[in-house]
Chain A
């Protein structure tokens, strides 16, 4: 049983990491909180559903489709609604973002209810067979979700380390002024980073859509998990998000089994609260 729990925990932990990494990126480059992050997860899921069900795409197109749509959406949202943060040199950008992104959360969720309908949908399975890992039966979808999540997270890490743009983002995370002096166009990088972050969230949503099924309100839980991962792993740290995601996934699964399934969600919150209070920089983040 323990082995099964750990493997399940790792699988879901990788998806948590994917969600958290996007948020960490957004927070690092733009220095804001984004309550609508979970809604991009939801939109990504629906895009995958429509891609495979309505347009008949093969499964390997579903996730990229979702990512493209959420990237564009994220970039547009940033340009229209979040850019005042750096163009207007706001006194309290955080407060602005807190309320604005909350408005976006409500907006996307309600819009989804109207446009997609309040029904629960399930896109076709990406992989219909089950896989056996170390004797534990896991559905093919779950394995795919975990593997692709890991690939995306590592891919992002490589991007940040090796490319010019990625280095620019890292610089912005460390010091906005310094980055500006070195020629980073904060405005442009903001919308690109925002787009990428949303695309990652959309990917997560698309990957788990056949597992958790879709409804307009599914954005709530991933939002929360993203913040937990970010708080535990540390702002702007990709390695942190990966480790934190796995930690969260495994701890949750074990805790839910051995302690209480009713309190499963509290585990993440308590971990987050603990880190925020006693080690705000998380595991690997910088202050």
Chain B
């Protein structure tokens, strides 16, 4: 682990611990949602940013993880903490299955197939309403009860996000990560070097899906409910937006982007709540059109010196 990454992680932990004391209590809920998106997006970053697979069905996996955990809690009384594990596990398992299926497709087709999968999952969730509660959603036990339940849930989310962050950093610098990057950048060269590209494709995919499942289970037990909206196309859009803004393929991108998007949304909601998605879509369009490196390019544009500092920081 690079020194700078440790510093960032510690900074986040410290800020995360101070925030509940320093801010009005509504921010606890808002920041917890940011944690959810961060974990979810870290997962997608691994699938697309590291491994180069543009999965458009990512939103199905928090749904799978969340519903698994909620249903297990409902039917066998599984504790929400174990539910996190179960959700991540089942999502990862399905990630392996789907990952194997999509080995045969690339690019555009990959995108469509994963999207089709996500939509089928959504149809199943709404069709089997006797089990899943249908479009009305399902209630789930929260992590904690009592007056400080939300605060502890917040810390839970902070912890999970740091966990996901650290894992993504470890992966980034490891040999495994190198394999994923090789698959992303030049699959033929990777093959010729003896890298088992098929294995790593599935690995990267399932890994990201598993994190998404974890995020979904966290969502379910933090809010106390889960509904089919979690797997919807606009959630996928948020993930894309977050990654665009934060910077694709970097380790900090998902977290930076998540906080930016969630906090901005909250601030906007105070003044013009119905406009947040509209504003975001405009930002997304402009950002994709003119900047492709996320914050990095914004910084490049604003000040070359700052950019040098940032580059040095990120690459040290």
Contacts and interface: CB of A to CB of B under 8 A. Distances in A.
Interface residues of B, number: 40
Contacts of B240: 98-99, 102
Contact of A106 (B115, B116, B284, B289): B284
A107 B54 contact: no
A96 B284 CA distance: 11
Contact of B123 (A113, A220, A269): A269
Contacts, number: 104
B178 to A, nearest CB: 21
A98 B113 contact: no
Contacts of A280: 105, 109
Contact of B113 (A113, A266, A277): A277
Given A99-B244, A270-B120, A81 B113 contact: no
Given A114-B278, A262-B127, A33 B116 contact: no
Contacts of A224: 119
Contacts of B288: 96, 99-100, 103
A111 B126 contact: no
B278 A110 contact: yes
A77 to B, nearest CB: 10
Interface in B86-108: 101-102, 104-105, 107-108
Interface residues of A, number: 35
A71 B108 CA distance: 25
A113 B281 CA distance: 14
A129 interface: no
B274 A276 contact: no
Given A84-B289, A100-B288, A106 B105 contact: no
B112 A276 contact: yes
Given A276-B113, A277-B105, A107 B120 contact: no
A114 B285 contact: no
A64 interface: no
B234 interface: yes
Given A265-B119, A266-B120, A266-B124, A277 B284 contact: no
Interface string A99-132: 1101111110011011000000000000000000
Nearest to A102: B237
B123 A106 contact: no
Contact of B116 (A98, A263, A273): A273
A270 B107 CA distance: 19
Contact of A103 (B104, B107, B284, B292): B284
B170 interface: no
A14 interface: no
B112 A94 contact: no
B114 to A, nearest CB: 10
A247 B188 CA distance: 38
Contact of B284 (A99, A111, A262, A270): A99
Contact of B274 (A104, A114, A262, A265): A114
A185 interface: no
B41 to A, nearest CB: 14
B6 to A, nearest CB: 31
Interface string B52-95: 00101000000000000000000000000000000000000000
B289 A263 contact: no
A230 to B, nearest CB: 9
B277 A106 contact: yes
A100 B281 CA distance: 9
Given A107-B285, A266-B119, A266-B127, 16 more contacts: A95-B54, A98-B56, A98-B111, A100-B288, A104-B281, A105-B281, A106-B277, A220-B233, A231-B112, A269-B120, A270-B116, A273-B113, A273-B116, A273-B117, A276-B109, A276-B113
19 contacts: A95-B54, A96-B292, A98-B56, A98-B240, A99-B288, A100-B289, A103-B241, A103-B281, A103-B288, A107-B282, A114-B274, A114-B275, A114-B278, A224-B119, A231-B112, A260-B127, A266-B123, A269-B123, A273-B113
